[in-house]
Structure 1
């Protein structure tokens, strides 16, 4: 008699892609001038809530531009902040 109770079922290995390759393209390949809060947070390595908190607290690390009620961020300001310059 053979017992199969202790054998784990065979599973297929799943391929997991990094978020950067699946969700957002590299910043230098983005052709739009304005970025959403989620995109900006991704490129800066922050959570979107951090950008919202900075805005509510009056920290002008990076200032949003509004389209209606939706805050958007200039691509040039994001690139300047990444480069270590003061964003306007």
Structure 2
């Protein structure tokens, strides 16, 4: 049985950027979907790369969930 990760709500998130697992949880997409967005640069969110890892802007996730494109 896979372990279930728990993430803080976006309202209580204090970090400016989150990892792919956390971002995918909040936008209700699989992590691989977000990785595809990053690779092809065709999604509603664009990550930054920090030491070769993807980091997703919390502000942009909030904007997307509020209905912004």
User: Which of the numbers 17, 32, 35 marks the counterpart of 1:52?
Assistant: 35
User: Which of the numbers 3, 21, 24 marks the counterpart of 1:41?
Assistant: 24
Question: Which structure would you say has the larger Rg?
Answer: 1
List, as ranges, runs of 4+ consecutive aligned residues in structure 1 with deviation greater than 4 Å: none
Q: CA RMSD in A?
A: 1.4
Stretches of structure 2 that go unaligned for 5 or more consecutive residues are none
Offset at 1:55? 2.1
Q: Would you say how many aligned residue pairs link Structure 1 and Structure 2?
A: 66
CA distance in 2, matches of 1:60, 1:51: 8
Aligned to 1:67: 50
CA distance in 2, matches of 1:66, 1:74: 11
TM-score (norm 2): 0.85
CA distance in 2, matches of 1:57, 1:27: 26
CA distance in 1, matches of 2:21, 2:30: 8
